[in-house]
Structures are given as structure tokens and as C-alpha cells.
Amino acid sequence: MSLRKPKDKELESYIESHIEEAIEKEWIQVYLQTNIRGLSKRVCGAEALSRWIDPVYGMISPGEFIPVLEKKRKIQLLDRYVMETICRELGERRRRGQFIVPISMNFSRLDFDVPTLLQEMEEIMEKNSLPRNYVHIEITESAVMENEAYMKDTVRELHTLGYKVWMDDFGSGYSSLNLLKEFEFDTFKIDMRFLSDMGKKSLIIISSILYMAKEIGIHTVAEGVETEEQYRFLKVAGCERMQGYYFARPEPMKEWFAHTKESCEMETEEDCYLYDEIGFVNIISPVPFDLERSDSSPSIHGFETGQPVAVMSEMDGVLKHLNFTKPYRKNLLELGYEGTHQFQDLLNDRSILFTDKMRDIMDLARKSGRIEAMDFLSGGRHCQFQTRLVARKGNKNIFLVRLDILSNIRRFQKNKEFQEALSPLYTVYDMVFVFDLKENLLNPVYVNEIYEGVHESSNLRGEIEKFVENKVYPKDKEACWQFLNPDTMAERVESAEKDFILAYFRSKNRKNEYVWKRFVLIRSHERSKQDRVIFGIHTLNMDKVSMMHKEDQQIFQEGDFFER
């Protein structure tokens, strides 16, 4: 076959005058491109794409003949032909008991100008006794924009008849977001080619579209998937179905059925139902367990049910809530505050020890630029306050604040007895750590005191050395080091009569004053965990100490620090 390369005009008039013949003589063929299920990688459908294989010009691509057919108002001829071809094939296969999959077809906006289109479609479906869920309709955004009111009715009608309507090329037009609330699409088809660079911005845009689709209850397909990297990203981000050269190229319909049956795993109808049901589960949501979505009470994640966080401004030392989430307020109410205002007033009253500590933490966060945290007890519950500076200018600082009631968190509740045992301990101690001597780990359990070592660390020895060097009164350093020496700690604690050893040292408080503190090392009660020691520090009440007998006080001065 010798092929000629046509001029644009020539091809255009050729297409216009030969479309009927091309259909009749089957120069136009229906190709299928596989749709796969993101979670299982099984075949869950296919898209019908036309090819014009011409005796004179060879392969004419849809990009060439579709615009001409639209311009000349002949596109309906093509789409009706594709619909008939697909439905006949599906019907026959079904009657023969061969496998079939749902197929999505492309409808041009002009197809909907034909008032009889839906009726014809119904007749074709009836003739082939095909359930409506085996055919999906893909409509491009531009088609929708052309005649909004009419399209809206059409989409509704298609739904009533039982068809699924997909929005093709979602995100490529300029009014996508506006169309979202106007139309009831079942599925978005996102074209990766618009965002194929896999750059940071593209990835954020794609995952945000997927996120939004789940939240509003619309299924998702990504097309133009060309790489393993794209597939993996889309899967984690929650894209339900995918299509693209990475999985398969479009193939002539009959070959597609033959080849797919042989070499691919197919999704069953049951699986299809299940996967569609779980399509709206959003594992990257802050509240993935929250599955209720109804029109009457939409759950706006991150606000209604998300994290207990607030934004606070600090100007000339005065704190003010700028914004907060519902869970944040809920936690405050649960802790006995009347609301955010009362908590705010409290934070602005530095004469209260508890708030003064929180403000110290915020000061520390302002200086460090890191997340700083503090534990505290309120009504017997273990709470945690976290904060981080997000912006500063002049005398204004803006903080992000988070307030968790740890005792309410399920994984903490699991250890109810543990909690019960530990809570009183927290009232006594300013800081409680678990030392893992074998693994050289330091784990803060409760820290109600500013201390740089509150973060988990895998350098226990280094942290102890740093602590002794920076925090302990020079005269007490040597003794304190001996007390906290990790090399001999296990042995000393193990041989202690009462499972713990005590000592008193002077160390810095958060105002950098040296105060007497009691240091306790307690043996872990789990037999298998001999290398674990619990370490607590608490500040002594010096008024009480001064009431003791003179000779008892000698202990504090003369360096016999160990008490057994």
C-alpha cells in the first residue's frame, strides 16, 4: 500500500466525504486500551478509541479526523458506530459466556445536540441485552462548558438510565472547579500528560485532586500513566484506576479480548463492587477512619475532625488565638475550660506556674525554630502541649499550637493500668525517662520542664554527659556522673534493695537557677527488660527541707549523695 501524505485541506475534505464509506468498509476500527485497578493491578475495564486505517492515507489519527468530523457535524456517525460495535461485541461475548469488562466510550459535545441520541443508545443496549453498568460515557470538560444547562440535564438523564458518566481530561480546562458542584460526575479522569514532569508542584496538584475527589465522593482514573514511578505514586495517593502505555497500548478490539484473557488477571464483578466501595477510603487523610459522608453533614476533614491545633499570635507578649480547629476547642472543654478565651486568658497570666511553663516552652520554640513540647497533667489525664514558630516580624510572633489529651488516644488507652500507675508518678516528677542501656536509647515519657534532651535519642550516653556538663552544679558534677553512669547503672539498680536508688543533686531549673533535685533510678519490672531503667527527676520543696534537722541537711552539703 503506497501512502500519500495529504495537505491539511485535502485531508479535511477527504475525511468529510469518506466517513460513511470508512464506517461501512470498516476502515474505522475500534481499539481498546486497558484500565487497571490501582490496588490490585488487575484489568477492570477499557476505553474505546477509534482508528481510521485508510487505503489511501494509511493510519489517520483521531487527533486529525475527530476535529474535522466535529466541524462538519458528522461526529455522531462515528460515535454511534463505536457504540454499536462495542455493544454488539459485549452482547455476543456475554451470550457466549465469555468474559466482558465495562467499556468507556468518548462522546463529543455535539453528540448531545442530537435529541434522539439517548434513545438510540437505549435501543442498542436493549438489542444486545446489556446491563447499563457495562458502558461508561466519557465527556470532556470543554463539551460540558459549551452548553452547561443542557449538559446538566443530559448527565442527569444518563444517570437515571443507569449509566456512569466520567469527566474526561479533568483539570485541563479553566473552569473545572466550577463544574464540580454543578455536575454529578461519577468519575474524574485525570490526564498525567498535563502533569507528567513528576515535579513537586505536579505531585501536589495530583494528590490534591485525588484527595478532593474522595472527599466529595467521586471516583478517579489517571490516564497517560507511562512509568512505574507514576504508577506507584498514584497508588499511594489513592487513585483507583489507571490507564496508559505503562500498562498497555490501545489494541484492536478483538485482539484486545483475546490477548487480555490470556495474559492478564481480570477483576471479578464482586471485586469491582468492593473496590468501588473502598474507593473513597482516604488513607492519606488525617482521619482515615472517618467514613461517614452525607450531604446533610459533610465532614470537612482537618477542620471538623482533624488535629487539635490552633494558630496563635503573640504581640508584645500577649497571646491571642487567630484560628483553631474543633478538636482543639473540644480538648479545652474536656479539660474544664469554658472555651478558647479562658485558656487564652490563662496563657496571658504568667503568675500561674502552669502557664508560665507553657510560655517558657513557646519562648524556647521561638528561639529554636523547632517543635517544642511539654507534658502536663490535668484532671489526672496525661496531656501534651506542642508548639512551633511559623512566622515572626517585628514584635509579632505567630505560633502553631497543638494540644493533645494523650490519655484519650486509643494506643495510650490500651495500657490503662500502666496509665493508672504512671499518672501519680507524673505528679511527683518533673521528668520521667526510660533508659535502654543495651541499645543506648533515651525515651522521654513525661517532661514537664524545659530540657533540651526531651527528644528521643539513640545516644543515651552522650545525652547524660551533656546533661551533667550543662545542667548540674559544678561541685555535684562528679557524683552525679557516677550516679548516672550508664556502664554501671544496670548493676547498681539490680543490686539495690528496693529496686531503686536515689540521690540528690543541685541542677538548673528552667530559670537557670541551681535548685536541689531528687534523682531516682528505678528498675524495670519486666523481667526480660533488665537493661531498662526508669529515670525520674523532681524538684525538692526547699521550705520542707529547711524544716529538717540540721544534721539531716548535712547530706545535702557534704557529698554523701547516695541513699539506699
Instruction: Let me know: does 68 contact 15? Beta carbons within 8 Å.
Output: yes
CB of 33 to ligand C2E, least distance (A): 6
CB of 107 to ligand C2E, least distance (A): 6
Q: Any contact of residue 180 with ligand C2E (CB under 6 A)?
A: no
Q: Any contact of residue 245 with ligand C2E (CB under 6 A)?
A: yes
Question: What is the amino acid identity at position 421?
Answer: A
Instruction: Let me know: does 516 contact 506? Beta carbons within 8 Å.
Output: yes
Instruction: Let me know: does 422 contact 445? Beta carbons within 8 Å.
Output: yes
User: What H or E segment, with its residue span, contains residue 36?
Assistant: strand 28-37
CB of 32 to ligand C2E, least distance (A): 10
**Choice from 45, 102, 238, 244 touching ligand C2E (CB under 6 A):** 244
Q: Which of residues 67-96 bind ligand C2E (CB under 6 A)?
A: 75, 78-79, 82
What is the phi/psi pair of residue 397, to 5°? -125, 140
**447 backbone φψ class: left, alpha, beta (φ>0; ψ -120 to 50):** beta
Stretch of residues binding ligand C2E (CB under 6 A), selected from 121-129, 243-251, 264-272, 432-440: 243-251
Q: Any contact of residue 66 with ligand C2E (CB under 6 A)?
A: yes
Residue 14, C-alpha cell as written in the block: 477527504
Rg (CA), the chain: 35
**Choice from 111, 138, 251, 430 touching Ca ion (CB under 5 A):** 138
Q: Any contact of residue 195 with ligand C2E (CB under 6 A)?
A: no
**375 binding partner (options ligand C2E, Ca ion, none; Cβ < 5 to 8 Å by kind):** none
**63 binding partner (options Ca ion, ligand C2E, none; Cβ < 5 to 8 Å by kind):** ligand C2E
Instruction: Let me know: does 413 contact 466? Beta carbons within 8 Å.
Output: no
End-to-end CA distance of the chain: 102
Per DSSP (E only), the strands in 448-513 are: 500-508
**Choice from 25, 71, 73, 193 touching ligand C2E (CB under 6 A):** 193
**Chain-centre distance of CA 195, in angstroms?**
20
Q: Any contact of residue 50 with ligand C2E (CB under 6 A)?
A: yes
User: What H or E segment, with its residue span, contains residue 345?
Assistant: helix 340-347
**Choice from 34, 106, 220, 448 touching ligand C2E (CB under 6 A):** 106
CB of 447 to Ca ion, least distance (A): 54
Place of cell 544496670: 490
Q: Any contact of residue 251 with Ca ion (CB under 5 A)?
A: no
Q: Which is nearer to Ca ion, 50 or 282 (CB)?
A: 50
Q: Any contact of residue 61 with ligand C2E (CB under 6 A)?
A: yes
Question: What is the amino acid identity at position 482?
Answer: Q
Interaction pattern, residues 156-175, with Ca ion; x per rule: CB under 5 A: ------------xx------
What is the phi/psi pair of residue 44, to 5°? -120, 5
Q: For residue 372, with 0-12 CB atoms within 10 Å meaning exposed, 13-18 middle and 19 or more buried, which class applies?
A: buried
**Choice from 108, 128, 387, 507 touching ligand C2E (CB under 6 A):** 108
Q: Which of residues 94-123 bind Ca ion (CB under 5 A)?
A: 106
**245 binding partner (options ligand C2E, Ca ion, none; Cβ < 5 to 8 Å by kind):** ligand C2E
Residue 387, C-alpha cell as written in the block: 508548639
Instruction: Let me know: does 125 contact 137? Beta carbons within 8 Å.
Output: no
**Choice from 226, 276, 304, 436 touching ligand C2E (CB under 6 A):** 226
Distance between CA atoms of residues 108 and 75, nearest Å: 7
Q: Any contact of residue 102 with ligand C2E (CB under 6 A)?
A: no
Contact positions toward ligand C2E, by CB under 6 A?
Answer: 33, 49-50, 61-63, 66, 75, 78-79, 82, 106-108, 168-169, 193, 223-226, 243-245, 250
